[in-house]
Amino acid sequence: MTEKQSTRDMIATARTLSVALPYLQKHDGNAVVVKLGGHAMGDPDSLADFARDIALMKQCGVHPIVVHGGGPQIGAMLKRLAIESDFIDGLRVTDKATIEVVEMVLAGRINKEIAAAINRQGGRAVGLSGKDANLILCEKLLHRMTDRETGAQSDVDLGFVGRPVSVNVELLENLIESDIIPVIAPIGAGRDGETFNINGDTAAGAIAGAMRAARLLLLTDVSGVKDGDGQVLNEMTLDQAKGLIERGVIQGGMLPKVGTAMDSLQQGVDGVVILDGRAPHAVLLELFTEHGAGTLIQR
C-alpha cells in the first residue's frame, strides 16, 4: 500500500467516525437487546466480528444485552442422541428428553462460547440462563393456531416450552452498572422449579420490553421481512405487520420474530429491527449509520 492510499484510508475512517457521531450521541446510555442467531453462531470468524462489535458498543456508551439461540446446534445434538423433534409455527415441541438437551446446549457450550468471544475482544461478558436469579420466570405456553381455511382456533401443547411472565430487571441493571455485558441463554424457570425452553426471539423481546430498550435487534439469516412480492421492507408499522400475517405472507420461522417485535413495541421498546446477521458489522450499521440495515418495525 502506498503512502497516498494509506492517507486516503485514514481519511475515510475519520469521515466514518464523524458521520457516526449523532448516532453515538442518540444511543448513549441506552439499553439495546441483541438476539444472536443463525450463521454468526456457527462460524468462528463471524462470531469474533460480532463479539468485537458488542465490545465496541459498550465502549461507546451503549448497554448491549445479548440473548442467543442455538436451534441448529440443538438439532445436531438431538440427532446424535436419536431424539426426534418437531416444530409448530417455528416453535420446537419440547418433551422431557428434549428439554435436557436444550438446556445442556444453550446454557452450557453456546452461552459460554459467546461470553468468551466478547471477553477476548476486551469486553466484560458474563453468561447466564433465564434460571439464574430467576432472571426469566415462565408459565407453560399453549400455542394458539388458526386454521387459514375455516378460521377456527385451537391451543396446542408444546411440552416444556415457556412463556415469559416476568424479568429480573434489577439483576440486569446491576450488571450494566458494573460495566458487564449480560449474555443470556433462553432457558426459563417455572414457579414450581420446572425448566422451560423459550424461543430465543421471545426471550429477547421479553427482556427488551422489561428494560424499555431503545432497540431490539433480531439477527437472522435473511435480509429482513419481505412483502408479497418477495421484496425486503425497509420499514413497517404494526398495522402492516398484522396485515402480512393475516394474508399468510409472514409465516414459518419469521412468525415468532414479527410477533416478538409487535409485543415488544406494545411494551415500550422504541423500535425493533429484523436484520441479516451474515452482513459484516450489521449491528453497527443499524445503530450508527443513517440507513441502518434490515426491516425496522415501529408503532
Task: Categorize the per-residue pLDDT at 15 as very low, low, confident or very high, splitting at 50, 70 and 90.
Answer: low
Per-residue CA distances from 273 to 138, 198, 276 (Å)? 25, 20, 10
Separation of alpha carbons 233 and 297, rounded Å:
10
Separation of alpha carbons 223 and 294, rounded Å:
6
pLDDT digit string, tens, across residues 117-142: 999 999 999 999 999 999 999 999 88
Could you say which DSSP state residue 226 is in? Answer: B
Place of cell 462470531: 47
Alpha helices in the chain (DSSP H): 3-27, 39-42, 44-59, 71-80, 96-103, 111-120, 169-177, 200-211, 238-246, 254-266, 282-288
Q: Which CATH architecture has domain 28-298?
A: 3-Layer(aba) Sandwich (3.40)
Q: What is the 3 state secondary structure string of 239-268? A: HHHHHHHHCCCCCCCHHHHHHHHHHHHHCC
> Would you state the pLDDT for residue 55?
95
Backbone angles phi, psi at 227, to 5 degrees: -85, -170
Q: Give the three-state DSSP class for 224.
A: coil
Separation of alpha carbons 202 and 211, rounded Å:
14
pLDDT digit string, tens, across residues 18-61: 676 666 667 778 999 999 987 677 788 889 999 999 999 999 89
Contact 184, 203 (CB under 8 A): yes
pLDDT digit string, tens, across residues 166-195: 999 999 999 999 999 999 999 999 999 899
> Would you state the pLDDT for residue 18?
60
Above 80 in pLDDT, residue 289?
no
Separation of alpha carbons 182 and 136, rounded Å:
13
Please state the pTM of the whole predicted model. Answer: 0.87
Place of cell 414450581: 192
Task: Categorize the per-residue pLDDT at 3 as very low, low, confident or very high, splitting at 50, 70 and 90.
Answer: low
> Would you state the pLDDT for residue 154?
77
Residues forming a β-bridge with 184: 67, 128
Q: Is the dihedral of CA 8, 13, 17, 19 positive or negative?
A: positive
Cell of 201: 426471539
* 165 conformational bin, left if phi > 0, alpha if psi -120 to 50, beta if neither: alpha
